[in-house]
Structure 1
Amino acid sequence: MNLDEIQQIFFQECEEGLAMMEASFATVRQGDDDPETINTIFRAVHSIKGGAGAFGHERLQAFTHEYETLLDLVRNNTLTLSSDLLGTIVGAFDMLADHVAAARDQGDPPADGAMLARLVAASVVPAPLPVASTATATASLPATGPAASADGFDDLFALCDAPAPARPSAEGDWQVTFVPGTDALDNGGDPLLLLRELGMLDGDVLAADVSRLPLLDALDPERAYLGWTAIVPAAASDDDIRSIFEFVGACELVVERIPSAATPPIDAGVAAIDLLDEPALPAAADPIDPPVEDDRPAAPMATGQPVDIAAPRAAVSAPAQTIRVDLDKLDRLVNLVGELVITQAMLAQRLSEHGMAGISELTDLDHLTRELQESTMAIRAQPMKTVFSRVPRIIRELELETGKRVRLDIVGEMTEVDKTVVERIGEPLTHLIRNAVDHGLETPADRLAAGKPEEGVVTLSAVHHSGRIVITVADDGRGIDRKRVRAKAIERGIVAADAILSDEEVDNLIFAPGFSTAATVSSISGRGVGMDVVRKNVQALGGRIGISSNFGSGSSFALSLPLTLAVLDGMIVTVGDQTFVIPLGHIVESLRPSDDGVKVLGPSASLLDVRGSYVPVHRVAEQLGIEGAQTDPSRAVLIVVESDTGQAVLMVDSIQDQRQVVVKSLEANYAAIPGLAGATILGDGRVALILDVDALISRWRRDPRLGTAPLGMAA
């Protein structure tokens, strides 16, 4: 593995760390600022800092060093996590994400001067009360002569002369010997932070090795001379311990099990000293091992306050076993499974032609092939959390730009969907979030006047429904003002002034290219290039978007997307001498109408009576320019489908089968064709085109006369 590959792994870990930090911030905002949550944020920044130094990203390393310093003061309870301080920490997180992106994309680092100044200013520790703190600090130190000097060095020397603490160790505990290289302090390095990480594993630093410490006249303050010996409980794993030192440069590190319960011997050149200045935390009750009395003297902090470094032992659970796989390899596996599905369908077709369709082995093969396909697709599945984790930052930016107060509620972030869908849904989702805050939510003053709380609510949810994933962006704002939307549409020439439109049709006008109700153009909206992009991107994913709005109460946008773009369940139909596939997710029902079930409105227009509602019938043959197809609706098969503009009916000649098909991209193998979502290979080897239901119906509704021209030829 070369250096570039290792660096890519580092950036992947950066993304994971940033996602973990975002989740931790959400927890802190809910009032749960327990020490482990703060430690999680600190560890993520510390890991990014270590990797940044290893790969020479100096600006990223310098920023994380200041960020880490502030977080360390918070987790040690030296600073209290106030709302202002939390705002600084969250703002620094946004800047950290920009730094990581710049380093990954080899772009220019962001201008972080103002944020660095905020971090430095926030890291200033208030001066302690000198009398009370000094008295408390020296009370626990051994008497070594005259009173402690004002600079506190006598206290440290007293600790160095103290005997080794009698810390009992159990058989199987880890002994960790760490001697950093002399250049360990370069580039903002701090070995003490590594020791504090050991303390978070419930470890105890037993002794400092001062054998390499030179005389004062030879001492270089920028070099590291000390080493340490620590004990870590057996509950920690070897990987947990070594990961702390993962990005440390040249050093001596020995991690080994203690064979007996005796305290490990300490060399003559090693002096007992406890350098972990962690604050005392309440330890959870342990039903197996009783708490151990520890009479060691407390090491003074810079403030002179006594510190107890005992930390609670976190519950250790077996981590999930994972492996990193190159995406190209995974895509090849998915393609091969797809070809296997096609071959299985061909085999089933051949056996059926010879009267052998019912053999049990063929049924078993069909079940195994489908299970293999589903398992393979599950490997590509990712939780929506990878997309949703970006939204809090977008909300924070919009709050600053608009002056509005917004609370984000996220539901179903662990709902899984195919990786391709996850990658391509980010841009439409960003547009919808910005639209909800800018157009949907009112200002705090307007909300109070309307009897609402000052803080608006944006809800982001994801659920599985009928073999698809439905992503909803809802707000409790003003809703869609249909009179204003209609007036703007008439003003821009999108609809005629005398057009009769339903509420649903008025709502869908906001997706028209160039449409906007914003009074002024801003950095957020006003140019009319947002919602039409959303619809196009969603349709490109084989999905549809629906709107539900109540004026004065809010709006909801629901994106219905396929769980995967690689396979789909479809109904195979014939139109003339051609074979097509209609995605099953669009189909409501199929039927042969009675003689009086279809109302003819002209030479090519007709309506189907669907339980009292008249739905327009679209002749697929006319839209696609296919000759020899059935023209009489009463003799054809009518398929009721659901599109993003409501229900419609597709008229086809017959239904052949219903099966799962492998989607092949027309764009990659031929060219993009409006109205067609892709192609597939059937069991008999024929190529069948997959209909894009939304595009077909939208095209017909814009101008019904296009139904007489072959698709792709009409303007």
Structure 2
Amino acid sequence: MMDSMEAIRVTFFQECEEQLAELEAGLVAIEGGTAEPDTVNAVFRSVHSIKGGAGAFQLADLVSFAHGFETVLDEIRSGRLEPRADIMGTMLHAADVLSDLVREARDGTALGIGWREVLADLDAIARHGSVPAEPPPPEADEFGFAPITIRIPTGEPEPMASDPDRLMVEFRPHPTLFARAHDPIPVLRELARLGEARIACDLERLPPLDLLDPEQAYLAWRIELSGVPDTAVRDCFEFLDEDCDLVIGPRSTAGVPPEPEPELALGHLPAARTATAPEPSRPAPSKVSAPSQAAPPPPGAATCGDNAPPPTIRVDLDRLDRLIDLVGELVINQAMLGQRVIEAGVARQPAVATGLDELKLLTREIQESVMAIRAQPVRPLFQRMGRIVREVAAATGKVVRLRTEGEGTEVDKTVVERLADPLTHLIRNAIDHGIETPERRLAAGKPAEGTVRLVAAHRSGRVVIEVSDDGGGIDRSRVRQIAERKGLIPADAQLSDPEVDSLLFLPGFSTTETVSDISGRGVGMDVVKRSIQALGGRLAVASRPGQGSSFGMSLPLTLAVLDGMVVSVADQTLVVPLTAIMETLRPAPGDVRALGPAARVLAIRGGFVPVVDLGEELGFSPAGRAEGAQPVAVLVETSEGACAALLIDSIQDQRQVVIKSLEANYGTIPGIAAATILGNGRVALILDVDALVASSGAPASSSVLSTPLSCSR
């Protein structure tokens, strides 16, 4: 039983992560002015689901805070509260606190969260419609009791229209329902939204005031609904069925007398109405009772009126990694099988050739399907950055808004997980060093509110992520002075603007004079560069004084496989990533020309591009190419927009290869990104095109998201 409950608990916290992501996305959308009913309802369901699961595990702090949060959201979705900027600021802060409380409950650690102060702000919003600058004056009387108003309508209610599908619901809460901070009123409001409703409060068990026990539950409700399916009704009681007596059935069998009874007004509920005569032919009602062994309901389930989400299954990540490894071995063995068939001389037989082609296509389809399982959008990662922006902006006294684009861009799960730290550092750097104070922005003719943009896009088989700001840009003269003072560069060094920008990524470099909680220790940007390089990516910097800066990251979509061109250089087999190749050609004699004592360029269609001889660059043929041998030029473009021509001996094939980490199995080699196993069993090195071209000094475009710099024409 304990193992089962622990598994359910793990599932609950996994669901909480999804609900928190949806919560923050919805709140940001509401803050941006798109307070559509579906968005507000989705936000409410997220908090309600977290509260329901937390109540099942008796997480009192989490339940209490989620209940206060839920109350404010209910006011917003009912239209009684306008989501103004000051209110949404408190709501976003409450979402951060809710996330911390979930993490505290999951890890069993005390984070020292001041959630009660935020809960008091939420309560003030729910009661007064705003966050008070100082505690509101007490409204209770001298005995500490606050008044409530109960309205019991008089007269004959309007009869409900005849409907053969009328349902009668009897709802009697248990004391445990209130002990877990559940509130029946929002449930009754949801039932009223589903269709025409008549709701009556049963006061029969309510004792005299001197005999009332505050820990008991005395009230019950009878709800008559018209035109509402019973499945939608059951969804409304999803988290309450273990803590109440619930009967759902046709009115004729629900046991409610046809005479109208006194009714308790419930906020904005429609006026109560009397049902028509019961129909005897309806089936018996269904009784919802608590199971003998309590288990928490699935926290991610839909509430009232939602369409059921598509069925999903949770798989342990280790199992998925094992599957991907096996698919990689399948790709290698398929290539080996094709090589053996060719060596055996039977590849020309039609049946064998057709079978090999079908096996190749099927293997590729399996590999792509498995990789698609690991692909996930960057949306959750981008949403986490919203909290970083709010925290750093508050700490620096700046007004900053985060704008995101391309949240649906998908990338391998491993890449997404390892991007969190680099993005966090870049966001903090943009706010602390890039965005000016409101006073300086206004003096410069800018709006007081600064903007940080976080953009993701697919480009040439890679994912490109850019963090940019509209701040003051990089003060290159100051960067150079600090680098000289710290001894990072000599005083007479001649540096271009890109070279000055690259100083930001040196260990120990910082433009902040005093150490703070945000910056000043010289740790951060060097971590960003190392993290991106470890993912097989490249980092580009662009900045314009007074207009802002941008940091672009170009990363592989996956760390498992790639499409490559297999080439030969000095009897060695190499793989060039296909996404970097623009075209291949065989240069005519005289097209490759010397430029200076060591450099060479390739003349192509009236322009020139730098030449990188792979044999010489990698040390395979130090004496140069054989006399009379005509090389093949592979025209490539880097993720930063630089172009170059790689000189090789010949092209063997184009195929999909499985990436094997060279650093984990051997070590780091300049110009080599990874390795793979070919069909003949030999190891082939996968080229790092960006590093090879960088050694040639090819020019790059200003931003990895801008139009790439094509080869000179």
TM-score by length of 1: 0.79
Matched, 1:180 2:173: yes
The one of 109, 112, 127 equivalent to 1:110 is 112
- SS of structure 2 residue aligned to 1:277: coil
Instruction: Confirm whether residue 346 of structure 1 aligns to residue 336 of structure 2.
Output: yes
Give the structure 1 partner of residue 320 of structure 2.
330
1:307 paired residue number: none
Please point out which of 595, 610, 614 is paired with 1:615. Answer: 610
| Shift, 1:242, TM fit | 3.3
| Aligned position for 1:101 | 103
The counterpart of 1:190, out of the listed 183, 189, 208, is 183
Q: Deviations over 1:495-541 (max 9, x none)?
A: 33333333333322322222222343322222222222112111111
- Kept in 2, the 8 Å contact 1:166–1:263? The answer is no
1:362 aligned onto 2:356: yes
State whether structure 2 residue 216 is matched by structure 1 residue 223: yes
Instruction: State the secondary structure of the residue aligned to 2:504.
Output: helix
CA offset at residue 388 of structure 1?
0.8
Counterpart check, 1:14 vs 2:16? yes
* AA matched with 1:680: T
**Does the 8 Å contact 2:189/2:269 carry over to 1?**
no
Identity of aligned residues (%): 49
The answer as to whether partners of 2:602 and 2:645 remain within 8 angstroms in 1 is: no
Q: Which deviates more from structure 2 when the two are superposed, residues 472-481 or residues 489-498?
A: 489-498
Mean alpha-carbon deviation: is it higher for 512-521 or for 525-534? 512-521
The AA in structure 2 aligned to 1:684 is N
DSSP 3-state at the match of 2:498: helix
Alignment of 1:36-115 (within 5 A): 36-77=38-79, 79-112=81-114, 113-115=116-118
Whether 1:660 and 2:662 are equivalent positions in the alignment is no
Partner Cα separation in structure 1 for residue 471 and residue 432 of structure 2: 10
Q: Structure 1 residues 366 and 165, CA, compared in 2 at 3 Å: closer, same or farther?
A: farther
Whole-Å separation in 2 of the counterparts to 1:566 and 1:321:
27
Go from structure 1 to structure 2 and tell me whether the alpha carbon gap of 1:648 and 1:20 turns closer, same or farther (over 3 Å shift): same
Deviation for aligned residue 1:9? 1.5
Quick one: structure 1 residues 495 and 608, their matched pair in 2 at CA, closer, same or farther if it must change by over 3 Å? farther
Contact 1:485 1:506 (C-alpha < 8 Å) held by counterparts: yes
Q: 1:443 to 1:152 in 2, by over 3 A?
A: closer
Which structure 2 segments of 5+ residues have no match? 131-145, 276-302, 698-713
Count of matched residue pairs: 643
Q: Which amino acid aligns with 2:68?
A: E
**Structure 1 residue 319 displacement after superposition:** 3.8
Q: Which among 266, 272, 278 is matched to residue 277 of structure 1? A: 266
Contact 1:475/1:554 (CA < 8 Å) preserved in 2? yes
Match of 1:400 in 2: 394
Distance between the aligned counterparts of 1:616 and 1:434, measured in 2? 39
Q: Give the C-alpha shift of residue 279 in structure 1.
A: 2.7
- Conserved in 1, the CA contact under 8 Å of 2:192 and 2:269? no
User: How far 1:224 sits from its partner (Å)?
Assistant: 1.7
1:277 maps to amino acid = L
Secondary structure of the structure 1 residue equivalent to 2:177: coil
Q: 1:638 to 1:381 in 2, by over 3 A?
A: same
Per-residue CA shift, 1:539-594, capped at 9, x if unaligned? 11111122222222222222111111111112223344543323233344455555
Q: Deviations over 1:580-623 (max 9, x none)?
A: 32323334445555554142766xx4333455446363655664
Q: Write the distance in 2 (CA, Å) between the matches of 1:630 and 1:163.
A: 104
Distance in 2 of aligned mates of 1:85 and 1:655: 63
**5+ unaligned residues in a row in structure 1: which ranges?**
128-149, 282-292, 298-312, 702-715
Say whether residues 1:515 and 2:506 are aligned partners.
no
Aligned residues of 1:463 and 1:471 also touching (Cα < 8 A): yes
Question: Using the alignment, how far apart are the partners of 2:363 and 2:210 within structure 1?
Answer: 76
Secondary structure, aligned partner of 1:2: helix
What amino acid does structure 2 have at the position aligned with 1:18? L
Residue 382 (structure 1) shift: 0.9
Report the Cα distance in structure 2 between the residues aligned to 1:264 and 1:79, rounded to whole angstroms.
40
Distance 1:164 1:251, change over 3 A: farther
Tell me, yes or no, if structure 1 residue 245 matches structure 2 residue 238. Answer: yes
For 1:333 and 1:58, the matched residues in 2 are separated by: 41
Amino acid at match of 2:488: I
Per the TM alignment, residue 155 of structure 1 is displaced from its structure 2 partner at its CA by: 4.4
2:458 and 2:230 map into 1 onto residues whose CA distance is: 38
Query: SS of the residue aligned with 1:188?
Result: coil
Task: Tell me the equivalent position of 1:685.
Answer: 681
Question: Under a length normalisation based on structure 2, what TM-score does the superposition of the two structures give?
Answer: 0.79
Indicate the residue corresponding to 1:142 in structure 2: none
1:557 matched residue in structure 2: 551
Secondary structure class of the residue paired with 1:478 = coil
3-state DSSP class of the match of 1:495? Answer: coil
**Superposed CA RMSD:** 3.8
Deviations 1:321-346 (A, max 9, x none): 43333323332332232222222222
